[in-house]
Amino acid sequence: MGDRAPDFALPNQDGLLIRLRDFIGKKVVVLFFYPKDDSPGCRIEACGFRDTYIDFKDAGAEVIGISSDSVESHKRFASKYKIPYHILSDRGGKVRKLYGVPSTLGIIPGRVTYIIDKQGYIRYIFSSQFNPRRHVEEALKIVERLRQT
């Protein structure tokens, strides 16, 4: 925490290139890494962010999800669950590695949420592979706190 968030450019579910730097100076970014589209825990987490998305927007934040799934997989996932935010395809896990997201048991990509302030600094990190709902709760709490500062 306190480090500058590494910049990245990845395609979203519509194939559009999304860069972190496009949000710096404008919004707090809730960046969550998740293991796999349509797996039970990831569905819970993604839909939790979907259900509270307006709360994040009202607090001046943008939500961005990242996994190693393909753009096509993300498109199906986003369509099926009506995901309103960007889901980015990190094929090969380059950005996951850049952020130091660990694997669980050495094989399952980790579930970690980063809160990046408007200046581009990481202000909070929450890691829990087995409590996907808590990622949403923790993120909203921190975003609200940042809004008040």
- Give the tens place of pLDDT for each residue, 28-50: 999 999 999 999 999 999 999 99
Minimal CA–CA distance to 26: which of 57, 47, 50?
A: 57
Distance CA 54, CA 24 (A): 20
Nearest 5°: phi and psi at 136?
-65, -45
Q: Give CA–CA dist 132/93, Å, rounded.
A: 20
- Given this model, what pLDDT does residue 148 score? 81
The domain spans of the chain are 9-147
Question: Residue type for 47, please?
Answer: C
CA distance 116 to 20: 10
Catalytically active residues, by annotation? 42
Domain 9-147, second-level architecture: 3-Layer(aba) Sandwich (3.40)
Model confidence, pTM: 0.96
| pLDDT tens column, 50-66 | 999 999 999 999 999 99
In the predicted structure, residue 20 carries a pLDDT above the cut 90: yes
In this prediction, residue 105 carries a pLDDT of 78
CA separation for the pair 38, 43 (Å, rounded): 5
Strand positions, DSSP E, 20-140: 28-33, 61-67, 86-89, 103-104, 108-109, 112-116, 122-127
pLDDT in tens, 69-92: 999 999 999 999 999 999 999 999
pLDDT in tens, 103-140: 887 788 999 999 999 999 999 999 999 999 999 999 99
Q: Are 135 and 128 in contact (CB under 8 A)?
A: yes
Residue 114: DSSP 8-state? E
- The whole-angstrom separation of Cα 84 and Cα 106 is 31
